[in-house]
Chains A and B, each alone.
Chain A
C-alpha cells in the first residue's frame, strides 16, 4: 500500500479517518467543564473577577493531541501489518499439505501452523479439496480429503511430537488418499532435517504429478541436540550436534537437572565455525554427577536438546565379600572395614546375608552390582566361579585383595589379572635386609593414570606376580622396586583388579591412606552398573518397563502422555516411536533412559527434492511481518494518559500537592492494573490443625498428669491427690502448676507432661502393646512415670499382689532400666526437702528408681553424682491418697497409721519428686556450692 510494505487487516475501518474533521470541530467547541463551587462572598469576588475573561476553547495543541489520538485509534483498529506475508496461491483442485511435526519442528511451530493455515485458507476460498498429513503422527491417520473447516480443526489440534517424523510412510498415505485426483498442488512444510526414507517419500510424491509444488524449509541455524553423554573421570562429557554445514560458530549453555527437576549444574559448549559437533564438560564432583537425571541445552525448547540419564550414570552398587568377618567388637581388624568406609561416600554397598561362599556370591550377583570386592578369598567354589566369570565378562568389575589365604591358594585362579606366585613376600622384617617399599609410580597405562603417587604409603608384605610379558601394561601401581602393587586386566566387557596387599592395614599402610579412597573412587568411576532395576531383576526375565518421565516436545520432562506404552528393554535398543516416546521408563526405584538420538546421530539438512515442476520456495512467513496494532494502541493509550494529565493540570488540580499525589497514584495504579494480567491475592496460610487448642492448653502451663484408669473412684482420688500436691507446691515452692490433667495414655500426647502419675489398677483392662510402646517412648524421651500400686498395706508378705502382678506384666513389654530403692544419697532425698522416706497413705513400701550403676560416691559427698532423671518411679504407698484434698481444702483420706506428720512427709515427697523431675541432677551439683565457692575464693 502506497509503495510501503504495509497492509491492513480491515481496511474499511480507515474510512473512519473521514470523521477526523468532525472530531476536530467537536473538540474545538467543548471547553473543559468548570468545577462548581458555592461561594458566599460572591459580591466581593465580583469586584475582582471579569466574567468575559474565561476561555471557552481548548488550546490548539490539545486539539491536535486528541486528533492524533483518534487517528492512531482508527489506524490501530484497521489492523496494520508491516511487511505482510505474501500468501502462496495454491493452484489446482486439490491441495495436499505434508507438515512435519517431528521433534525438530518444535521451535517455530506457530509459524508452521500459520503457513499451513494460510494455505488452507486460500485453498478453502477456491473450494479445493484439502489433504493434510502430519509426519510424526501414526501413518494410519486419515489424510483427507477435508474441507477447509475440518482441515483447520485438524491443524489446530496438531502439536509437535518428541519423536522423529516418518516422511516416507506419510507420503505413501497421502499418495493413497490422493489416488485419482488431478491438478494436485503440493505443499511440503518441512522442518528442514533429512530423515531416512526421504528419497522414497519424494519419489512417491513426484509420482502424483503435482501441478504446483511449494517447499518450506526453516532456518535451522540455532538447532542443537544432544547425541550422547559419557561419564569421564573428572567430568560428564556431553556431545552436542547441530545441522551440518553451518559456517558460524555458536555457543550453547547446558544445564543438568536432578530427579526432582532442580537445576544443579551448568556447562558451556562452543561450536567451532564449520563444526557440526562439540563437547560440553560438566566438571562437577562425582557425587553430584550421580544425581543428574537429565541434561538439556538452554533456549532450545525441543526434544532433541534434552538427554535423560539412567542408573548407568548413578551411584554404583558395590558388593563386599570376605572369607571371615572378624569379631564385631574389633571393627578395625575387619578386612572390609576400610573398604566400607572408603566406598560409603560414593557407592551403595551391598553385603550378602548368607555365610556359605558360593551362596553369598550368587546372592551378590543376583543384585547386579557394578563392582564386587573380595577380600582375601583364595579359593572360589566352582559353581560360584562360573557365575562370577559370566558376570565379569558381562561387564562387571571384580576387585580382589590379597591376604594369607590367597597367598596359600593353589595356582591357576583365572579370576585374577596376573598369575601369582604362591606365598607372599615380606619386606623389612627381622629376617630381611630389605626395607619396606614405598609406592612410587602409577603408570599412565593403568587405571590410576593421573593420580599422584602416594609416596607415604609403605608396603611390608605383598603377593608377587609372575613376570609375564604383559605384566607392565597390566600394572596400575608399582612399588619402588618395580613390583606391581595393583594390577588390572580386561576380561570380556568387564575388568579384573587385584590389590597385592590386604584390605586392612596389616600388610601395608595403603588402606589407611587417602590414596586408597582415591583409587577406589577411580575404580568405581570406570565401572558400569549391571542391570537397571535392582528390584525387578531378582530371577526374572526383563519385563517391559512402564513410562515414568517423558521428554515433551518442548524438551521439558513431563508426565507420560496417555498413549505412551511400556518399553520393552529386552529387545535390544528400542526405537523412538509415539508408543515409546523418549524419556525415563521405570519407577522411582530405577529407570531406563530412552533417548531420542543415538550416540552416532547426525543432523543433516534435507536435500532439495526434484519434481517435474519447478519447486517454489515458501517462507515461514510471519517471521518478518510485524503487526502494528498493539504498538499503535499503546501509543494511543500513552497519549490518553498525557491528555488526562494535561486536563488535571488545566483544571488546577496539580497545584495542590495532595490532589497531585492522588492523581498520579491513580494513574500509576491504572497502569499497573493494566500491565498485570492476573494479580491474585494469595490467602494467608492457615496451618492450624485439630488438637492445637488442647496442646496449647497443655503446654501453656506446667501440669502434672495422671492416667485415667476408668475406675471412677481411683480417678477422682488421683485428681484430688494431684490437686492437693499442686496446692502444696504453690504454697511452698516457686513452682505454680496449673490444674492436673487427666490423660488417656493410649491416645493423648504424653510429651507435654513432665510427670505422669499412674495408679495401677488390676481390675481394669491391661493396656495394649501400642499403648505400652507409647509409654515406653515417652520414658525414653525424658518423661517419667510414677507407678503407684497402692498395695503397701496388703502386699507386705512376699507374694505379688494383683496390682504388683499387673505392673510386672506391663513393664515386661517396656525397656525398663534396672531398679533400686532410693539410696540415702540419691538426689531425690535432697531435691527440695531433706527426706529419708517417701511415704504416702502407707509408709511401708520403698520408692523404686532406676539404679544409677555408674554413679559414684566416695562417701565424702552428700549426694551421689550421676546424670539423667529416672524415667520410672514405683511406689506402693498410695501417694495420691495422702495428697488428696476435697473441695473444702480438707484432706479426704486418712493416713495409715493416722499420723499428721506422715501426711506432711508424703506431701514433701511429692514436692521432691516434682523438683527432681524439673531440675534433674541440678540439686546434686548444687550441694557442692559451698565447696566450689571455697575453691574459687582461693
Chain B
C-alpha cells in the first residue's frame, strides 16, 4: 500500500549545489505558470488596477450601497442629486514584500494533491510578483533582494531565487518599513504563539501583512488508518500510532483550532488570511490576495 504523503525533493539542505540546481530547474516552470495564472486574473479585473490605495484623485463614481459612508465625497455629491464616491489612484510607489517558506515541511505532498506545498507557495509568490510588477509596484524578497520596480520583477526574483544558495528559515522582517505590504506564504505549522511572536513586530510597525496558508488536504483530514509510523520531515522525529484512525478527530480539531486562532489574530490586526489547498487551483488564492492588496489602506477600518 502506497503511503499517503511523500517528500517531493530530497531534504538534503547541506548539499547546496544540488539544491540550487533543482531550484534552477524548477523556477522557470513556475514562472511560466505564474504568468499564465496572472493573465487570467488581469483579464477578469480589467481596468481596476489603477484605482486603489493612494493619495491622488482618480475618479468620481456613484455610491453603491454597502460602502463606507466616510468615502462619500459630499462636495461633489452636493452638486446634483446623486451621491459620489471619490476614488484615489493606486499609489505608484507602494512596496510589497514577498516571502515563501522554504522549510522542509513545505516539501510535503500527499496523493490527493497535484503539487507540493513548496511548489504551490513559489507559484503564488511569483504570480504575485508578476502581477505587482505589471502594475508598477515595487517588489522585494526579505533577505534576498531590495525593493525594485521593474516590468520583469518576477523574472528577477526568480533569478535571485535560483542563485540563492541558502534561504533563511524565517524572514528577516526588520527591513520592512511602514506603509508597505507584506505577503507571507507558509504552512504555519509552527506553534501559533511562535508565529504570532515572530510577526508581531510587523503589526507594530504598521505594515499590512497578507498571510497565505498553503495546506495539503491530507494534513487537514488525516486519512491515515492502521498501524502507522509518522516522521517529521524537519526534525526526523518519529511517532508510531497503533490505529491511526482513532486520532483523526482529535488531530483535526487541533489543526483547525490553530488555523482559526491565527486567522482571528490576523483579522484583528487588519491583515488578510487566506488558505490555499494544494489540490485546488492556485488562482483562487491569488484572486483573494489580489483583492486584499487592492483594497485601499483607509478602507481597512470599516471591517
Which chain B residues lie closer than 8 Å to A53 at the CB level? 241-242
Which chain A residues lie closer than 8 Å to B191 at the CB level? 43
Which residue from chain A places its CB closest to the CB of B216 in the assembled complex?
A40
Is there an interface contact between B242 and A54, defined as CB atoms closer than 8 Å?
yes
Is there an interface contact between A45 and B240, defined as CB atoms closer than 8 Å?
no
Is there an interface contact between A44 and B231, defined as CB atoms closer than 8 Å?
no
Q: Mark B221-254, 1 if CB is under 8 A from A, else 0.
A: 0001111111111110101111111010011001
Q: Contacts A38-B6, A46-B239; is A655 near B225 (CB within 8 Å)?
A: yes
Is there an interface contact between A651 and B187, defined as CB atoms closer than 8 Å?
no
Q: Is B3 an interface residue (CB 8 A)?
A: yes
B interface residues, Cβ below 8 angstroms from A? 1, 3-7, 105-106, 108, 117, 187, 189-191, 216, 219, 224-235, 237, 239-245, 247, 250-251, 254-255, 258
Is there an interface contact between B254 and A650, defined as CB atoms closer than 8 Å?
no
A interface residues, Cβ below 8 angstroms from B? 31-49, 51, 53-55, 650-653, 655-656, 659
Is there an interface contact between A656 and B228, defined as CB atoms closer than 8 Å?
no
8 residue pairs of the A-B complex, CB under 8 angstroms, read A34-B228, A37-B231, A39-B232, A42-B230, A43-B190, A44-B189, A44-B258, A46-B239
CA gap between A659 and B233 in the complex, in Å: 27
CA gap between A34 and B238 in the complex, in Å: 12
Which chain A residues lie closer than 8 Å to B105 at the CB level? 40-41
A650 touches which one: B7, B224, B226 (CB < 8 A)? B226
Is there an interface contact between B254 and A47, defined as CB atoms closer than 8 Å?
yes
Q: Contacts A39-B232, A651-B227; is A45 near B239 (CB within 8 Å)?
A: yes
Is there an interface contact between A40 and B226, defined as CB atoms closer than 8 Å?
no
Is there an interface contact between A37 and B251, defined as CB atoms closer than 8 Å?
no
Which residue from chain B places its CB closest to the CB of A48 in the assembled complex?
B250
Which residue from chain A places its CB closest to the CB of B244 in the assembled complex?
A652
CA gap between A36 and B237 in the complex, in Å: 12
Is there an interface contact between B229 and A44, defined as CB atoms closer than 8 Å?
no
- A31, A36, A43 interface centre (most CB from chain B within 10 Å): A43
Is there an interface contact between A40 and B229, defined as CB atoms closer than 8 Å?
no
Which residue from chain A places its CB closest to the CB of B242 in the assembled complex?
A54
Q: Contacts A35-B227, A37-B231, A38-B5; is A49 near B189 (CB within 8 Å)?
A: no
CA gap between A39 and B4 in the complex, in Å: 9
- B7, B106, B225, B247 interface centre (most CB from chain A within 10 Å): B225
Which residue from chain A places its CB closest to the CB of B4 in the assembled complex?
A37
Q: Contacts A44-B255, A48-B247, A51-B240; is A37 near B189 (CB within 8 Å)?
A: no
Is there an interface contact between B227 and A652, defined as CB atoms closer than 8 Å?
yes
B1 touches which one: A42, A44, A46, A659 (CB < 8 A)? A659
Q: Contacts A48-B247, A659-B1; is A39 near B242 (CB within 8 Å)?
A: no
Please give me the 6 A-B residue pairs with the lowest Cβ-Cβ distance, nearest first: A652-B226, A652-B225, A42-B232, A40-B105, A651-B226, A39-B230
Which residue from chain A places its CB closest to the CB of B188 in the assembled complex?
A41
Is there an interface contact between A44 and B254, defined as CB atoms closer than 8 Å?
yes
Is there an interface contact between A48 and B3, defined as CB atoms closer than 8 Å?
no
Q: Report the minimum CB–CB distance from B252 to chain A (whole Å).
A: 10
CA gap between A40 and B189 in the complex, in Å: 8
A43 touches which one: B3, B5, B108, B232 (CB < 8 A)? B232
Which chain A residues lie closer than 8 Å to B245 at the CB level? 652, 655
Which chain A residues lie closer than 8 Å to B3 at the CB level? 35-38
CA gap between A43 and B192 in the complex, in Å: 12
Which chain A residues lie closer than 8 Å to B247 at the CB level? 45, 48-49
Q: Report the minimum CB–CB distance from B196 to chain A (whole Å).
A: 16
Which chain B residues lie closer than 8 Å to A656 at the CB level? 225
Which residue from chain A places its CB closest to the CB of B190 in the assembled complex?
A43
Q: Contacts A35-B227, A37-B228, A655-B225; is A42 near B239 (CB within 8 Å)?
A: yes
Known contacts A38-B108, A38-B231, A652-B245, then 8 further A-B pairs from the complex at CB < 8 Å, ordered by chain A residue: A36-B229, A40-B5, A41-B255, A44-B251, A48-B250, A49-B230, A651-B227, A652-B228
Which chain A residues lie closer than 8 Å to B251 at the CB level? 44-45, 48-49
Q: Contacts A43-B191, A49-B241; is A37 near B224 (CB within 8 Å)?
A: yes
Q: Report the minimum CB–CB distance from A56 to chain B (whole Å).
A: 9
Is there an interface contact between B237 and A42, defined as CB atoms closer than 8 Å?
yes
Which chain A residues lie closer than 8 Å to B117 at the CB level? 40
A45 touches which one: B230, B234, B235 (CB < 8 A)? B230
Q: Contacts A49-B241, A653-B226; is A40 near B254 (CB within 8 Å)?
A: no
CA gap between A780 and B240 in the complex, in Å: 90
Q: Contacts A32-B227, A54-B227; is A40 near B219 (CB within 8 Å)?
A: yes
Which chain A residues lie closer than 8 Å to B225 at the CB level? 652-653, 655-656
CA gap between A53 and B108 in the complex, in Å: 27
Q: Report the minimum CB–CB distance from A853 to chain B (whole Å).
A: 85
CA gap between A655 and B224 in the complex, in Å: 10
Which chain A residues lie closer than 8 Å to B232 at the CB level? 39-40, 42-43
